[in-house]
Amino acid sequence: MPDYGHPLRFGSFITPRNRPVSRPADLALLSEEHGLDLVTFQDHPYQPQFHDTWTLLAWVAARTERIALAGNVLNLPLRQPAVLARAAASLDLLTGGRVRLGIGAGGFWDAIAAMGGKRLTPAESVDALREAIEVMRGIWNTDDTGLLRAGGVHHRVDGAKRGPAPAHPIPIWVGAYKKRMLELTGTVADGWLPSMPYLKPGDITRGNAIIDAAAKAAGRDPREIERLLNITPQESVEDIVSLALDEGISTFILAGDDPRLLERFGRDVAPAVREAVERGRARRGTATVRPARVKARSSRVPGIDYAGIPDSLADRALEPGDPGYARYTAGYLRGGAPALVLRPRTVAEVQDAVRFAARNRDVPLGIFSAGHGISGRSLNNGGIVIDVGALNAVEVLDAESGRVRIGPGARWLDVARELTPHGLAITSGDHGGVGVGGLATAGGVGLLARSHGLTIDHLRSVDVVLADGTLAHASAEENPDLFWAVRGAGANFGVAVSFEFEAAHVGKVGFAQLVFDATDTAGFVQRWGATLEAADRRVTGEIILGPGQGGRRFAQAILVVESDDPDTIVELLQPFADIAPLMQQSVVLTTYDEVIGFAVTDDEQHGFGEPHSRSGMVEHLTPEFAKGVAEILDARASYFFAIRALGGKVADVPADATAWGWRRANFTIGAFGTRNSGLDERWDTLLLPHMEGLYLSFETSRGPEVVARAFPPAHLARLRELKHRYDPTGLFRDNFFIDPAERGADTGVSAGVPA
């Protein structure tokens, strides 16, 4: 039988004895320590001297970091399939995609019956296994929103809710020896998992032939089915190499509980086998391939070397149709259909992902944190998405100085909840569901901006994976040019994998939600601007306006007052009450995490299509500007028009200190419309002449003229030089591309003059 070309894996097969109680888990830790890829356990629920295998898997999962986990094989007659599917998905989510599912049709029927299981004939047990696989895959398939009705005589669900989807497509490996079981493996399973002691000479060849024929009859490529084998310490390196090259086995699982043998297997045997198989495949011209479903192959796009996905990322990579893929078809405001989603869990894996993207640069590249990007294009159609959501740690390094380290995949609500007990906060937008990675490299206009500046003003260092896959540390002392660029134009320079901030000491704050009658829109906007500019720095706020109905328009205002004294809060808010008639008001004393989380839900994101928004900055809300706002809203060109406060501490930072250069502006403006609502024409005519710069996070227009407006001319010239240094070929080009080829070019676009 030819070599299927699957990547090699090595694992351990441990007896789950409960005396000494910790021995199986200790052997699992040794398996990980010695570099094995997989740890597996027998499953005999009727054996009182054994730990329950699923409980043991959960315990081992909590004590390990990297190694994959599986039953070998799980006793299906005593594990209800729908419940097992949910348990597997839950553990897979908790471990970040480390679960594999080895299952068997059952044996030792007297013991199974004694435990309350139903005794089945051999034929019935095969039918039951097929039904169970259908049920489990149905539970995992959350792309189908209907109730699940699946199974048959032995295992059936009728109207069950689906989910959760696992973190990755959990492979189902079947322990099979007889013809019907082998045919079932080829028809519906993801892997074949026999044990060497139960095989006679020629059984692997015969088994592969039956599996391959069944796979072809089902319209599958036989390479979709992984071939695994439980082996004994008696198998030599030469034996294992022959099994790989001549029999197609790619995963070798050592049975035994001797820690010395585990060490030898990981330290000596596995590397020797890898090297010999690599040489053998090179001689034979056998390319390494990965098992892939027919549906996935049919939707694959040119320009991506799927076979070249790094081993570190392959098991968690998602393609259309995989469980969990639906998460990447909808963000907060936009839809997508990426061809491949890579989900690194470590900095090293992010480096692997970036290097892979660099080798496949003919398709779009998105960097995904939490899916809230309006302009960031973290999702795409037909391209690669690198999801850094697993890098979500929030660590307080020194509460007294406010030093904290945060991963790009954390949400700002997670950050606030971690910092609040320490009396700390980082100003960070106005919605806690936003991911750290995008906002912390774009600017960060938040509800503490006037008292604490932008998010980037609190950044003290950042680790960035550059376009060539190397890791760079940037701070005021180390790579200062990169540190300057990341603070405002970070999406052009790499993937940030760790941030170190200096958080501010913030206690309780006043949080006001007000609704004004803004029918006199121009007058209201002008008075709001004047009042906010005159307000104490401890006050930061924003207003949201819409088209209005029935001849009236209302403005929703959000204000945060950094004070824990109710009288002071009321005093500082009082001038705002005089701007226009108040229709509703709510003022509470609360903590920053409650403020940033007030609109956050755990509901799935359902964005679709492409949002259409415009952004700009102004120093003052002048009568002319306010009149333009009113005309846009009266024409129903914008359904959501937001004016957010800058000024205060934002303006204290020199304009040339960061790539964000618009320190003179007191307000940033963002408006949503549609392609056909007339927003662009009215924006360009009525508002753009009064603006300087724009905030990239709220702009969806593309093109060099947009980039030219996003940065002051001197800033843009410097950014182009740095882009040439750090990303000369433009790998990071899908999020407001700063073209290094335009170094020295005069765009002819007026971007304003920073103060």
97 and 161 share one domain: yes
End-to-end CA distance of the chain: 73
632 and 493 share one domain: no
Q: Report how far residue 4's alpha carbon sits from residue 1's, in angstroms, rounded to the nearest whole number.
A: 9
pLDDT of residue 609: 77
Q: Report how far residue 66's alpha carbon sits from residue 242's, in angstroms, rounded to the nearest whole number.
A: 28
517 and 479 share one domain: no
- Tokens linked to 455: 């998010």
Q: What is the mean pLDDT of the chain?
A: 94
65 and 163 share one domain: yes
- Checking if the pLDDT of 202 tops 90, the result is yes
Question: Above pLDDT 90, what percent of the chain?
Answer: 86
Q: Report how far residue 347's alpha carbon sits from residue 638's, in angstroms, rounded to the nearest whole number.
A: 41
Determine, yes or no, domain membership for 203.
yes
- Checking if the pLDDT of 751 tops 50, the result is no
Can you give 56-109 as a three-state secondary structure string?
HHHHHHHHCCCCEEEECCEEHHHCCHHHHHHHHHHHHHHHCCCECEEEECCCCH
CA distances 577 to 401, 559, 581, Å, are: 37, 12, 8
Determine, yes or no, domain membership for 727.
no
Q: What is the mean pLDDT of residues 717-746?
A: 91
Q: Report how far residue 672's alpha carbon sits from residue 701's, in angstroms, rounded to the nearest whole number.
A: 12
517 DSSP β-pair partners? 554
68 and 196 share one domain: yes
pLDDT of residue 453: 97
Determine, yes or no, domain membership for 601.
no
Q: What pLDDT digit, counting tens, does each position of 500-530 carry?
A: 999 999 999 999 999 999 999 999 999 999 9
pLDDT of residue 746: 55
Determine, yes or no, domain membership for 305.
yes
pLDDT of residue 755: 40
Q: What is the mean pLDDT of residues 620-642?
A: 97
pLDDT of residue 323: 79
Q: What is the mean pLDDT of residues 164-192?
A: 96
pLDDT of residue 295: 56
118 and 242 share one domain: yes
Which domain CATH number covers 361? Answer: 3.30.465.10
Tell me the backbone φ, ψ of residue 582, rounded to 5 degrees.
Answer: -90, 125
Q: Which of 78-92, 192-206, 368-382, 696-710 has the lowest mean pLDDT?
A: 368-382
Q: What is the mean pLDDT of residues 144-167?
A: 94
Q: What pLDDT digit, counting tens, does each position of 211-244 carry?
A: 999 999 999 999 999 999 999 999 999 999 999 9
Q: What is the mean pLDDT of residues 559-570?
A: 97
580 and 495 share one domain: no
169 and 204 share one domain: yes
Residue 434's CB is within 10 A of a number of other CB atoms, namely 26
pTM, to two decimals: 0.85
SS3 39: strand
**What is the side-by-side order of every strand in the sheet holding 539-545?**
582-590, 509-517, 554-561, 539-545, 640-645, 667-673, 612-618
Parent domain of 556: 509-590+612-699
444 and 527 share one domain: no
Which residues are within 8 A (CB) of 665 and not within 5 positions of it... i.e. 6 or more apart? Answer: 617, 618, 619, 646, 647, 692, 693
Q: What pLDDT digit, counting tens, does each position of 32-67 carry?
A: 999 999 999 999 999 999 999 999 999 999 999 999
Q: What is the mean pLDDT of residues 439-451?
A: 96
Q: What pLDDT digit, counting tens, does each position of 572-588 carry?
A: 999 999 999 999 999 99
- Checking if the pLDDT of 602 tops 70, the result is yes
- Checking if the pLDDT of 565 tops 60, the result is yes
Q: What is the mean pLDDT of residues 334-341?
A: 92
- Predicted confidence band of residue 376 (pLDDT cuts 50, 70, 90): low
- Checking if the pLDDT of 297 tops 80, the result is no
